[in-house]
């Protein structure tokens, strides 16, 4: 009994000490208030909106029976966020994936007013959208300069996670210029550890001044919940796209007209170049700006307007944010020499009709060709209208060296080590001249690429 009383007294003593310590926290430190995000948030949170959407579900033939029909049709609901960027016009910036398939968009303001919004325009490639409401007394957010962001800067994410309503999380900029994530087509993303969860999409990422520096768009997580890796579209990129969406209802991108891929160490060795950065032109689209400017297959673009290009995605992002008619200066590596090429970006050239492949000859196993092609079978193309020739890969064993090298059924090998291969005979001849490594030029569906095997 005495022992129990001692434990109780000791616990009570610790509680009293803790309460005294909490009450002793000073409201001021060195004559200044303890730092708080509250004053900044009080100014900008009214500019953040919750977005609820409704969309008609696709018809399912299994639910045609009257017993499975619902009044008003089947609908699905989703929740997201947005931020007011023009209070007078009622313009709201959000993500394309939040509103793209909606039949009805409802915007809930911070003061609980509710409005039905209309879509001004959205762009799937960048995941940016602009919607509009007819409302008075709105608050808009100031837009900052995302180009001045540095890794380590403090940021705050605001949104509607899990439909709970306005929530605020804080963190830092973890990385900049993230790409190659396959989140959206045009990626130049800000990475942050500020918690971003389902429902935050389209909400603002702000700096400590309360300026919009990003639009929250995605997370990387196996569970679908925040794991400290979130991404936002830079404000400068969103602002540029927003202007086009407001003016045209769509993004009118200037196009160069090339199929490109990364220059990695393997391809650099195969092509005999010393640089280790850039985008290789695997194909020049006929009638495109690239063809008119004199660009060739095999050229390596290393700079655009004097700025270094590190990868194919970097080139895609750079060109994808430029307008139709804009002139660009390209620095190109060709046959080991640097060339400067001027190009004027144009619209999408007319699509060239693709040929259908029918009745290929019986596939020949790769064991009779080359060690790097083990597991693949090849065939001549017997009926080709628009193909100038090539070898069809009729099948690939998924556990084979050929599969691990990146070859897939349906690929067409057009050249081996820069030697054209219009039929199996030419294919064998080209392979016999190379024992160790192979540089394949391959057509795959609507694109082309180099594959280096060693």
Q: Do 235 and 274 fall into the same domain?
A: no
pLDDT for res 163? 67
Q: How many whole angstroms separate alpha carbon 438 and alpha carbon 270? A: 8
Is the Cα dihedral 110, 136, 240, 150 positive or negative?
negative
Q: Do 370 and 424 fall into the same domain?
A: yes
Q: Do 395 and 328 fall into the same domain?
A: no
Of the candidates 34, 217, 60, 5, the residue with the CA atom closest to the CA atom of residue 123? 217
- Is residue 322 situated within a structural domain? yes
Instruction: Provide the CATH number for the domain around residue 122.
Output: 2.40.10.10
Burial class (CB in 10 A: 0-12, 13-18, 19+), 14: exposed
Q: How confident is the model at residue 147 (pLDDT cuts 50, 70, 90)?
A: very high
Q: Do 244 and 291 fall into the same domain?
A: no
Three-state SS for 56-109 is ECCCCHHHCCHHHCCCCCCEEEEEEEEEEEECCCCEEEECHHHHCCCCEEEEEC
Burial class (CB in 10 A: 0-12, 13-18, 19+), 230: buried
Distances (CA, A) of 286 to 63, 255, 283, 385: 48, 13, 9, 17
Strands 75-86 and 91-94: antiparallel
pLDDT for res 365? 54
Q: How many whole angstroms separate alpha carbon 96 and alpha carbon 236? A: 17
| Cα 280 from chain centroid (whole Å) | 20
Q: How confident is the model at residue 130 (pLDDT cuts 50, 70, 90)?
A: very high
Q: Which residue has the higher pLDDT, 409 or 74?
A: 409
- Is residue 29 situated within a structural domain? no
Q: Do 443 and 373 fall into the same domain?
A: yes
State what percent of residues in the chain have pLDDT above 90.
Answer: 41
Q: Would you say residue 70 has pLDDT above 50?
A: no
Q: How many domains does the chain have?
A: 4
Tokens of 312: 């194919």
- Is residue 96 situated within a structural domain? yes
Is the Cα dihedral 65, 70, 75, 78 positive or negative?
negative
Q: Which of 223, 248, 273 is the last residue of a domain?
A: 248
Q: How many whole angstroms separate alpha carbon 357 and alpha carbon 385? A: 9
Q: Do 277 and 243 fall into the same domain?
A: no
pLDDT for res 67? 37
- Is residue 235 situated within a structural domain? yes
Q: How many whole angstroms separate alpha carbon 382 and alpha carbon 18? A: 85
- Is residue 279 situated within a structural domain? yes
Distances (CA, A) of 60 to 65, 72, 73, 188: 11, 15, 12, 39
Instruction: Provide the CATH number for the domain around residue 421.
Output: 2.30.42.10
Q: Which of 344, 374, 398 is the last residue of a domain?
A: 344
Average pLDDT, the chain: 81
- Is residue 8 situated within a structural domain? no
Q: Which of 248, 282, 308 is the last residue of a domain?
A: 248
H/E stretch holding 394 reads strand 391-396
- Is residue 53 situated within a structural domain? yes
Is the Cα dihedral 251, 238, 300, 431 positive or negative?
negative
- Is residue 253 situated within a structural domain? no
- Rounded to an integer, the average pLDDT of 194-220 is 89
pLDDT digits (tens, 9 = 90+) for 282-325: 989 888 999 999 999 999 999 999 999 988 888 988 898 888 88
Q: Do 386 and 293 fall into the same domain?
A: no
Q: Do 378 and 443 fall into the same domain?
A: yes
Domain span at residue 407 reads: 364-453
pLDDT digits (tens, 9 = 90+) for 11-69: 554 544 444 444 444 555 566 666 788 999 999 999 999 999 998 654 444 334 443 34
- 107 close to 119: Cβ distance less than 8 angstroms: no
- Rounded to an integer, the average pLDDT of 384-396 is 72
Q: Do 415 and 444 fall into the same domain?
A: yes
Q: Where in the sequence numbering do the catalytic residues fall? A: 97, 127, 201
Q: Which residue has the tokens 């609820």?
A: 52
Q: Do 150 and 241 fall into the same domain?
A: yes
Q: How confident is the model at residue 222 (pLDDT cuts 50, 70, 90)?
A: low
Would you call 38 helix, strand, or coil by DSSP? helix
């Amino acid at each position: 009994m005495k022992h129990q009383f001692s434990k109780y007294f000791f616990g009570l003593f610790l509680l009293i000490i803790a309460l005294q310590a909490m009450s002793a926290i000073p409201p001021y430190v060195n004559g200044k208030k303890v730092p708080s995000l509250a004053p900044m948030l009080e100014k900008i949170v009214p500019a953040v909106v919750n977005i609820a959407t409704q969309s008609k579900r696709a018809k399912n033939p299994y639910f045609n029976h009257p017993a499975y029909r619902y009044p008003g049709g089947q609908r699905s609901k989703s929740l997201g966020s947005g931020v007011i960027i023009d209070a007078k016009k009622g313009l709201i910036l959000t993500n394309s994936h939040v509103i793209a398939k909606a039949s009805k968009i409802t915007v809930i303001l911070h003061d609980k007013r509710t409005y039905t919004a209309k879509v001004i325009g959205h762009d799937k490639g960048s995941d940016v959208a602009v919607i509009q409401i007819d409302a008075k007394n709105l608050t808009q957010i100031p837009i900052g300069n995302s180009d001045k962001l540095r890794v380590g800067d403090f940021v705050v994410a605001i949104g509607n996670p899990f439909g709970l309503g306005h929530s605020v999380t804080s963190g830092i900029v973890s990385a900049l210029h993230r790409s190659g994530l396959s989140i959206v087509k045009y990626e130049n993303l800000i990475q942050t550890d500020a918690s971003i969860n389902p429902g935050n999409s389209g909400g603002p990422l702000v700096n400590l001044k309360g300026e919009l520096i990003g639009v929250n768009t995605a997370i990387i997580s196996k569970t679908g919940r925040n794991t400290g890796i979130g991404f936002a579209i830079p404000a400068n990129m969103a602002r540029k796209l927003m202007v086009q969406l407001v003016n045209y209802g769509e993004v009118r991108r200037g196009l160069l007209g090339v199929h490109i891929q990364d220059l990695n160490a393997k391809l650099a060795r195969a092509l005999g170049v010393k640089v280790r950065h850039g985008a290789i032109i695997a194909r020049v689209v006929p009638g495109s700006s690239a063809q008119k400017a004199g660009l060739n297959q095999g050229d390596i673009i290393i700079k655009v307007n004097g700025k270094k290009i590190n990868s194919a995605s970097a080139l895609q992002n750079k060109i994808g944010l430029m307008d139709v008619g804009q002139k660009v200066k390209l620095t190109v590596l060709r046959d080991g020499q640097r060339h400067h090429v001027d190009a004027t970006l144009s619209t999408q050239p007319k699509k060239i009709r693709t040929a259908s492949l029918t009745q290929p000859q019986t596939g020949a196993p790769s064991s009779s060709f080359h060690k790097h092609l083990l597991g693949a079978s090849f065939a001549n193309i017997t009926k080709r209208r628009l193909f100038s020739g090539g070898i069809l890969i009729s099948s690939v064993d998924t556990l084979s060296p050929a599969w691990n090298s990146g070859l897939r059924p349906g690929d067409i090998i057009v050249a081996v080590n820069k030697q054209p291969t219009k039929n199996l005979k030419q294919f064998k001849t080209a392979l016999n001249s190379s024992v160790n490594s192979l540089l394949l030029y391959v057509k795959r569906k609507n694109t082309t690429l180099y594959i280096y095997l060693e």
